Chains A and B, each alone.
Chain A
Amino acid sequence: MKYDKNSGITDRLRLNKKVAPYVFISPFFILFLIFGLFPILYSFFLSFNSWDGIGQMSFVGLDNYAYILTDDWFWDSVRSTIIIFVLTTIPQHLFALTLAFILNSTFVKFKDFFRTSYFLPYITSAVAIAIIFDVLLGHRSGLINAFLIWANQLPPVEFLFQTFNFDLPARWLGEPRLIRFSIAGLLTWRFTGWNMLIYFAGLQTIPKSLYEAARVDGASIRQVFTKITLPLLKPVIFFGVTMSIIGNLQLFEEPFVLVGADGGTGRAGMTTAMYLFRTGFHWRQFGEGSAMAYVLCIFIIILSLVNKKLFSGGGLNELRQ
C-alpha cells in the first residue's frame, strides 16, 4: 500500500479513534434531525393550528383532532384502507407461503426461473403497474371482463356468477364494492413475489436434517408443514405481516393512479393516505392533515402491537431451547 503519510490533507483529516465513530454516524443523525425529527415535531405543532400555507396561521387547540375523529370521510377512508388491507394481505401471504413451500421442496426443477418470475412484479414501478391494470380492468375494453364474459359461457361459471349476482361486464373501477377488490388484486399481484422471497429465505434457514428426521418418522406433507415449517417460520411471518401493515396502512400510489386522486366512485378507493394527501395538498388544510397523520400513526402502532402478540415467539431459537 503506497500513500504519503505526511501529505497535508490526510493529516488534517486524520481522525482520532475516539472521535471517528461519532463522525461516521453523525451524517445520519444530522440529516435525520433536519429531515426526519424536525418535520415530525413540526407536524405535531401544525396539528394544533389552522393554516393553508399562504395566509396567517392560527392556533385552534384540539379542534383538528376533534374534526378528524368526527369526520365521516376520514372513517370511510380508514374502512377502505382496512378492507383493502385484509383483502390483499391474506391471499398475498397464503399464496406466498404456498409457493415458497413448493419451491423449497427438493423435487422442483427450474427453481430460479420460478423465483425470478414471481419476483418480477415487485421491481416494476407501482405507477406503471397501475396504468396497465387500469386497462386490464376496463369496463368494455378490458381483458379481464372479456375473459369473464367468455368464461360465463360455461354453465358452472354462469351459475356461480348468477348466485353471487355478479353482472357482466363488471365495472371494476366504477362500482365501489369492486374498486376495493381491484386495488387488492393489483397489490396481491405485485407483492406476492416479494413475500414469497422472504418466506423462501426463511425456509432456507430451516435445517434439512429436521425434514429428514420427520420423514423417517413417517410424517405427511401436511404434518411437516404445520408441525415444522409453520412454527419455525413464525418470526418470518411476523416480519412479512409487519411490513404489510406498515405498507398497506400508508397505501397511496396504486389506488392514486388506478382510481384517481378522489378515490373513485363513492371514495371506495380513497385510502387514509390519499385523504391526507387531498386534505393537505388539494384543500391546503395543513393542520387537519397533520392531525390525521398522527391519528394514522397511532393506528399503525396499535396494529403492529396486535400483530406482535399474534406472532411473537417461535422460530429456531425457541426450538433449540
Chain B
Amino acid sequence: MFSRKSLLLTVMAFVMAASLLLGGSPEIMAEDVTTITVAAFPDQDSGFEAILDDFHEKHPHIRVELEVADFDDHHQTLLTRIAAGSNVPDVANVEIAFVGDFVNRGGFENLTAEPYNAGRFEEDIIGYKWAQGTNDDTGNLIAMPLDISPGTMFYRRDRLDELGVDIDDLNTMEDWIEVGEEFVAEGDDRWLFADAASVYEMIRRSGDHQFFDDDGEPIITSDKFVRAFEMAKEVRDRGLDGQIGEWSNEWFSTFEEGTALVHTSGAWLGGHIQNWMAPETAGKWGVTNLPDDMYINWGGSFVAIPEDAENKEEAWEFIKYVTTNVEPQIKQFEAANIFPSLLDAFDDDIFEVSSDFYGGQNVRELWLDAARQIPEVNTNRYDNIAEDIVGDALTEVLEEDKDIMQALEDAEELLRRRMR
C-alpha cells in the first residue's frame, strides 16, 4: 500500500509543480533597465541587430529583445496576440502587405496623438510611405515607416557575359524574353526566371495603385493585371522558367548555381543573397532596373506599438531611433539592404560606394535613383486577401490553362465577396 500511496503523492506533487510551470517562465528584469520586445521577420531582424549596440549605448535604460518569426507566422501570430491582448510585443514590425489591414483594424497606438506626436516627422519621410501607415478614416498615423524597397533585377553577370549580351541592351520585357530563350537553349536546367510568377509579382506592383483604386474598389481586371498575367503566361509557355517556388531549397540552389538568369525583387533580396543564400557567388551578380521603365516599391515595412504593450514609452524611443535618424537607417541598409525611408539618409555617402559583391557596380546609387522615381502607392485593408486571391488566379492560369480574363474576373468576384 505504501508504494502506491507514495506513487500517488509523487503524481500529485508533479501536477502541482506542473501548474506552476504552466504559465511560462516569468521575465527576470534588472532593476532600472526596461526590457522591450521587438517582434520582427527576416531579414528585418538583421537590420535591427545591426543597430542594437548603438541603441543600447545611447539608451542604457532600455534593453531590446528581438523576437523573430517567419514572415507569415509573424504577421498571423501578431494579429492573434493583438486580439488576445496578451503577450503582445512592445514594438511590432509590419510588412507593407499587411499594413493596410493592421492600421485599419485597430489594436495599435495612435502615433499622431500625445505623447508621441509623430506628426512632426511627416516631412522627413517619403510621402507615400507616410500615407500607407495612416488609418483611412481618422488620418492618424498608426505605423511608423521604417524602410522602403525599390524593385530591381538581380542578374548573373557571368552568365550574361557568356552569352555575349550587354546589359544596357536589355530594356523591355521582350528583350529579356529574347535573351532568356538564348540562355535556355544552352542546356538543361537553364531558365530566365526561377518562377514565372515573379513576372506577375513585378508588373502588379507597378503603377500608382496596387489592387484597389482610391475608393477602395478592386481593379483586378484592369490592363495592368491582364498584362501581368499575359507576360507570366508567356514566360511559362516558352519554357523560360524553372517552375520553382520562391523560398524553397530548390530556389536557393538556383542562386548558388546560376541556373536562373535573373531574379526580380525588392532591393532587400540582395541582403539575403549576400548574407546566407549564396555568399560564395560574390562578384557574379549585377543589378539593373526593371524593364519597361517600371519603378516600383517591392517590400518595405513599418513599426507600430500595440495598445496592450507594456512599455510604450521605451518602445517609442526605439521607434524614433530607428526611423528618424540617418545613422541607424544607413546601418540597416549596410547590413541587410534595408533601404531607408528617411529622406535625409538619401544624401549619405554610402550611395557613392560601389560593391564587390556586384562586381564593382554601384548598385546603391541605382536603387536610390529608382527609389526617387517610385510613384505614390495606396494601401488597402484587403491587400493581403487580394494578394492571396489573385496569386491563386495566376496559378490557375499557369498550371491549368485557365483563360486569363476569366481568371481575373473570377478573382475579382471572390475578392468582392470577401470584402462584404
Contact = CB atoms under 8 A, between A and B. Distances in A.
A54 B83 CA distance: 6
29 contacts: A52-B105, A53-B83, A54-B82, A54-B83, A54-B105, A55-B105, A55-B106, A67-B417, A72-B410, A72-B414, A138-B250, A139-B244, A139-B250, A141-B249, A171-B243, A174-B243, A174-B245, A175-B399, A176-B399, A262-B392, A265-B395, A266-B392, A266-B396, A266-B399, A266-B400, A267-B392, A281-B80, A282-B76, A285-B418
B418 A283 contact: yes
Given A72-B410, A281-B80, 4 more contacts: A63-B420, A138-B249, A171-B243, A266-B396
Nearest to A50: B420
Contacts of A174: 243, 245
Interface residues of A, number: 29
Contacts of B18: none
Interface of A: 1-2, 52-55, 63, 67, 71-73, 138-141, 171, 174-176, 261-262, 265-267, 281-285
A21 B392 CA distance: 56
B335 interface: no
Contacts of B388: 262
B1 interface: yes
A139 B106 CA distance: 43
A285 B253 CA distance: 38
Interface in B64-102: 72, 76, 79-80, 82-83
A238 to B, nearest CB: 38
Contacts of A285: 418
Pairs A-B, 10 closest by C-beta atoms: A53-B83, A266-B395, A54-B83, A265-B395, A266-B399, A265-B399, A140-B250, A139-B250, A176-B399, A54-B106
B51 interface: no
A46 B387 CA distance: 27
A66 B304 CA distance: 37
Nearest to A262: B388
B239 interface: no
A159 B249 CA distance: 31
Contacts of A1: 1
Nearest to A270: B392
A102 B243 CA distance: 44
Contacts of A53: 83
Given A54-B105, A55-B106, A72-B414, A284 B245 contact: no
B127 interface: no
A141 B249 CA distance: 9
B1 A2 contact: yes
Contacts, number: 51
Nearest to B391: A262
B385 interface: yes
Interface in B221-271: 243-245, 249-250, 253
| Candidate in A54, A67, A72 with the most chain B CB atoms within 10 angstroms | A54
A73 B243 contact: no
A171 B248 CA distance: 13
A267 B389 CA distance: 11
B207 interface: no
Contacts of A73: 414
Interface in B377-400: 385, 388, 392, 395-396, 399-400
B107 interface: yes
Nearest to A279: B418
A163 B380 CA distance: 49
A224 B385 CA distance: 58
Contacts of B244: 139
Contacts of B395: 265-266
A247 to B, nearest CB: 26
Contacts of B392: 262, 266-267
A132 to B, nearest CB: 14
A50 to B, nearest CB: 8
A158 B27 CA distance: 62
B399 A284 contact: no
Contacts of A175: 399
B108 to A, nearest CB: 11
A171 B398 CA distance: 14
Nearest to A140: B250
Contact of A71 (B72, B82, B249, B417): B417
Contacts of A281: 76, 80
| Candidate in A2, A55, A266 with the most chain B CB atoms within 10 angstroms | A266
B79 A284 contact: yes
A72 B413 CA distance: 11
Interface string B397-418: 0011000000000100010011
A54 B105 CA distance: 8
Contacts of A265: 395, 399
A283 B76 CA distance: 9
B330 to A, nearest CB: 36
Contacts of B400: 176, 266
